[in-house]
Chains A and B, each alone.
Chain A
Amino acid sequence: MTDAGAPLLEVEGLRMHFFTKAGVVKAVDEVSLRLERGRILGIVGESGSGKSMTGYSILGLVDAPGRIVAGRIALNGQDLTRLDEAAWRKLRGNRIAMIFQDPMMTLNPVLRIDTQMVEAVLAHHAMSKESALARCREALTQVGIASPDERLRAYPHQFSGGMRQRVAIAIALLNKPDLIIADEPTTALDVTIQGQILFEMQKLCRESGTGLIWITHDLSVISGLADDVCVMYAGRIVESGTVDDVLEHPMHPYTRGLLDSVPSRNVPGRPLAQIPGMTPSLLHLGAACAFRERCPRAVEPCSVAPALRAIGAARSLRCVNPIT
């Protein structure tokens, strides 16, 4: 079942569509990813780019009217799209874990932390409550929580935002997953607390070989944290490659536009380079490249959406008139 030679996660041609009364929303369209053990992959995009939905699809968390229409998701070589609900339950929180933006989505406000954490361990492992508690204590220490015994007996409302997010991360770590998907986990946190959490996550991946997918809108976080990056726009990956390549020599005009809009990269006081217009509605995507209307480099062939093509060993791009 498990293939040692396969990459940790391989997603090929994933399409996830929402079938609404108003029409078909192509939230995720032909997304392909690859993640090796111990690596960190960043998925960047603005609201509505499909970055979160890609994460939810990998975890099998898509609800009606959404449906995975096509594609293959393989974890250690095992195809996940064919799993039934029981098999998914064994996998989620065990081999794959998710960290959400709002830790209160993970934590139950009326249960003590120890109850919630022990439950997560016992759901996947037959062991005594004492050894489960020991595992919880270990996970809390791992994310930098001092005096875990005291913290275990507290309720979520007794924690600060940063602490809650640490607990949510500790719960994700409980069963030593192969893959963690983190959806904007530090967006709501202050800079100094964000720094602490990025530090813990980076250490964790390097030490335990866990693969991490970090979904965010913030290019500067990706730059400091990730090894590889995928830039998404209107449900599609428009550019991917190593962080160094993509951020230093962006080839897609959208990646370039995003980088240029970051205030700290600009001369203070001067007008920021801005991308005109706004993201298109995913309901009315025509046959043309979705970025065409906002693109400064649009040319005639852009009326047909370009395919993702490989450029070099680790880099791919979806553009007919790239920046060279």
Chain B
Amino acid sequence: MTTAATPLLEIRGVSKRFVKGIDLAGRIARRLGARVSETSVHALDRVDLAIREGEVVGLVGESGCGKSTLGRIVSRILAPTEGERFWKGRPYAQYEAPGDRAERLAVQMIFQDPYASLNPRMRILDIIGEAPVVHGLVNAAQRRDYVADMLQRVGMDASLMRRFPHQFSGGQRSRIGIARALAVKPRFLVCDEAVAALDVSIQAQVLNLFVRLREEFALTYLFISHDLGVIRHVSDRVVVMYLGRVVESAPTSEIYAQPNHPYTQALVAEVPRVDAKRRQYIPVKGEIPSPLAPPPGCHFHPRCPRAFARCREDAPALREIGPGHLSACHLNDIGSR
């Protein structure tokens, strides 16, 4: 089905708004003449993203930029408000037939918090073994062997499967979360800050595991992280988000060597590095604006050192500025670089 031209997974013009409805007190107040309106958060604003088979795409951004929402929309946990999602070139909606179950299971998610994402009252055997049995991938009699195999693949001892999550360390819990996702034979993994909660030495172990599993299972990853060092290590291509919009997308080596968007430049410059000794910090000014009331025009303009009049009115479109390098910045039009 999939040819080189068709991406494995694609989203087009995806927007997501979270709306907080008016509660009873608000409705009464409105009856009495108060101006109460619904508040909505524009978590994603017309995002396009295409991921080819076997690729690792790193998604970076600061808190509130919509990167986790994007991951959840891709993995069917949330539905987009607008826009379309495609798997192997066909819309997600066309995979509703019972025979398409394997395709629906093909995108799995690994969550950030290895403590909150495992049910504390279930044994590891059930945590990993429940889904493959429910979905008919293995029958109940084979479950134990199947879970043992999964545990071994993520580098854990199969004899631990009768234990509960609280008996494991953070690194082991991460491995359990990965084994749970792998148990339904996915093709595509969304890793949402999957190593953020781990110590450096354990983080290295889990990152190595991701790299190994990618080859072993021919996986494609969407790797979401705020840590540019981690992203640089694992991804082929990096997508940078700011307040619900993609601001830049480029091959990994290029985005670190020649960041185009002022926000990406600031991010890359701001990353603490071990080989930068007692450096002078030159911070970006200001706070990340609230997504409840994003600034007009380019969302980054209040903090941008090079903003000019047009940035305050007109939101820049994502345009190609080099082979495989997209950026959304007006500065590229006026040729001031």
Contact = CB atoms under 8 A, between A and B. Distances in A.
Interface of A: 46-47, 160-163, 190-196, 198-199, 202, 217-221, 223-227, 243-244, 247, 257-266, 268-269, 271-276, 278-279
B171 A264 contact: no
Contacts of B277: 223-224, 243-244, 247
A256 to B, nearest CB: 11
A247 B276 CA distance: 10
Interface in B269-317: 270-284, 287-288
A273 B204 CA distance: 7
B207 A259 contact: no
Contacts of B230: 263
A219 B204 CA distance: 14
Contacts of B200: 46, 217-219, 258, 261-262
Contact of B171 (A161, A190, A278): A278
A223 B274 contact: yes
Q: Is the interface of A mostly helix, strand, loop or mixed?
A: helix
A163 to B, nearest CB: 7
A278 B253 CA distance: 32
B288 A195 contact: no
B233 interface: yes
B276 A190 contact: no
B3 interface: no
B160 to A, nearest CB: 14
Interface residues of B, number: 45
Nearest to B270: A195
Contact of A191 (B228, B252, B274, B287): B228
B233 A263 contact: yes
A271 B211 CA distance: 7
A192 B267 contact: yes
A86 B283 CA distance: 41
Interface in B228-247: 228-230, 232-234
Nearest to A265: B274
A268 B276 contact: no
Most B-side CB within 10 Å, residue of A221, A263, A266, A274: A263
Given A190-B226, A220-B229, A264-B232, A196 B284 contact: yes
A65 to B, nearest CB: 22
B145 interface: no
Contacts of B63: 161, 190
B229 A263 contact: yes
Contacts of B227: 263
A63 B102 CA distance: 55
A218 B274 CA distance: 9
B273 A264 contact: yes
Contacts of B254: none
B41 to A, nearest CB: 15
A309 to B, nearest CB: 25
A67 B297 CA distance: 58
Contact of A261 (B203, B252, B266, B283): B203
17 contacts: A163-B287, A190-B63, A192-B62, A192-B266, A192-B288, A194-B270, A198-B272, A198-B281, A202-B280, A243-B278, A260-B204, A263-B229, A263-B233, A266-B233, A268-B234, A272-B204, A272-B233
Contacts of B201: 46, 257-258, 261, 274-275, 278
Given A227-B278, A268-B233, A272-B233, A191 B270 contact: yes
B273 A223 contact: yes
B243 to A, nearest CB: 12
A261 B287 CA distance: 31
A35 B230 CA distance: 33
B202 interface: yes
Contact of A193 (B211, B212, B252, B287): B287
Given A195-B284, A225-B278, A243-B278, A264 B204 contact: no
B252 A268 contact: yes
Given A191-B226, A261-B201, A223 B275 contact: yes
B233 A195 contact: no
A198 B228 CA distance: 18
B274 A272 contact: no
Given A220-B272, A243-B278, 11 more contacts: A46-B202, A191-B62, A195-B282, A223-B277, A224-B281, A261-B203, A263-B229, A268-B234, A271-B211, A271-B212, A278-B201
A283 to B, nearest CB: 15
Nearest to B269: A195
Most B-side CB within 10 Å, residue of A221, A258, A264: A264
B119 interface: no
A163 B169 CA distance: 33
B199 interface: yes
A195 B269 CA distance: 10
A163 B199 CA distance: 26
Nearest to A273: B204
